[in-house]
């Protein structure tokens, strides 16, 4: 049976040796997370506002009230998570994402991953218009990985890292999986990555709290639209 934790440790040890300049400064990590998560959050808001015409107006609460709750919860989560990263042990390196769009296979892989996600998101257009339907995909699949992480935490982290940070990626399929993994599970990965450094019971407690909050957060997002 594969020891996932040992494999993950081995992956990080090897990755640290060959990519010394490709890791985050641990002291500034909380600021980096704070910045990056706000960039993602504002991108989400842009997608939501593009489809403002499909917001719920007749319900109680209305779409605007759901949006206010969504924004409030998002900000609280971002700030709390950034503070948490200030105090996690950080025994392992934090590898940066790398994007080399001079590589033809990576460009094709990125485009294929985007196409796959867009096509799947069309199944949600009965509930909301595109491109907000793309966000449904993000919430749904990250939610699946959030709950799986309660049971197979190390495996979820390992699978993401192998697909995204592995440097021996050459084929179009390798890069397609890389960008699909980033799109559908990166939010969960970064939360679980920090929680994995905490003592077991605290890890599981916070992971459970995160799973519950994520579930309600998804409902707040869905409530914005007149489905």
CA count, 13 A, side-chain hemisphere, 172:
8
Q: Which among 112, 113, 95 is positioned nearest to 21, based on CA atoms?
A: 95
Does the bond joining 61 to the residue before it have cis omega, within 30 degrees of 0?
A: yes
Other Cβ atoms closer than 10 A to 222 = 19
The reported pTM is 0.80
- Six-digit token pair at 108? 């094709």
Task: Say if residue 179's pLDDT is above 90.
Answer: yes
Give the pLDDT score at 18.
44
**pLDDT at residue 27, rounded to an integer:** 67
Question: CA 176, CA 151: separation in Å to the nearest integer?
Answer: 27
Which pLDDT tens digit goes with each residue over 184-223? 999 999 899 888 888 889 889 999 999 999 999 999 998 8
Residue 92: pLDDT band with limits 50, 70, 90: low
8 Å CB contact between 116 and 180: yes
- CA angle, 186 as apex, 178 and 141 as ends, to 5°? 95
The answer to whether residue 120 scores a pLDDT higher than 60 is: yes
* Tens-place pLDDT, residues 31-40: 888 888 899 9
Q: At what angle do helices 132-164 and 104-121 cross, to 10 degrees?
A: 140
Average pLDDT over residues 105-115: 93
């Amino acid at each position: 049976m594969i020891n996932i934790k040992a494999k993950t440790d081995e992956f990080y040890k090897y990755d640290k040796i060959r990519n010394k300049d490709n890791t985050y400064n641990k002291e500034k990590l909380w600021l980096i997370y704070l910045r990056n998560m706000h960039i993602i959050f504002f991108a989400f808001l842009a997608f939501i506002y593009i489809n403002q015409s499909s917001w719920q107006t007749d319900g109680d609460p209305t779409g605007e009230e759901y949006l206010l709750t969504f924004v409030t919860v998002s900000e609280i989560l971002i700030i709390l998570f950034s503070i948490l990263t200030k105090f996690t042990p950080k025994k392992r390196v934090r590898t940066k994402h790398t994007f080399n769009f001079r590589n033809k296979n990576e460009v094709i892989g990125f485009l294929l991953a985007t196409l796959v996600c867009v096509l799947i998101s069309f199944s949600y257009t009965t509930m909301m218009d595109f491109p907000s339907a793309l966000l449904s995909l993000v919430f749904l699949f990250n939610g699946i990985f959030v709950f799986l992480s309660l049971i197979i935490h190390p495996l979820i982290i390992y699978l993401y890292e192998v697909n995204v940070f592995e440097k021996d990626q050459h084929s179009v399929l390798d890069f397609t999986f890389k960008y699909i993994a980033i799109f559908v599970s990166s939010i969960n990965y970064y939360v679980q990555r920090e929680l994995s450094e905490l003592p077991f019971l605290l890890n599981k407690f916070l992971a459970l709290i995160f799973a519950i909050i994520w579930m309600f957060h998804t409902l707040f997002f869905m409530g914005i639209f007149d489905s």
